[in-house]
Amino acid sequence: MYNRIPVLRTERGLSRHDLAEAVGVHYQTIGYIERGEYSPSLSLALRICDFFDLPVEAVFSLEPFTPLSSQVYDERTRP
């Protein structure tokens, strides 16, 4: 499973410790999720999305994400 957690964390200036504390897991678990080495439970995935105030499909995907910057740029330049 793919995710945008590293981007979202960096964007908000959060460390893995900060996010881990907010969603109630060990900081290494965040690392495992970010690297795609562990797929979180539905409950944890929803807690993460709730923390970022984003829908699940914006944070997690079964397909690789396209870079956020190109998505934003495409939307702005689309006629």
Contacts to another protein by CB under 8 A? 24-26, 28-29, 31-32, 37-38, 40-41, 44
**Least gap, CB of 21 to another protein (angstroms):** 11
SS3 labels along the chain: CEECHHHHHHHCCCCHHHHHHHHCCCHHHHHHHHCCCCCCCHHHHHHHHHHHCCCHHHHEECCCCCCHHHHHHHHHHCC
**Least gap, CB of 7 to another protein (angstroms):** 21
Our CB check for another protein shows the closer of 30 and 59 to be: 30
**Least gap, CB of 40 to another protein (angstroms):** 7
Our CB check for another protein shows the closer of 24 and 67 to be: 24
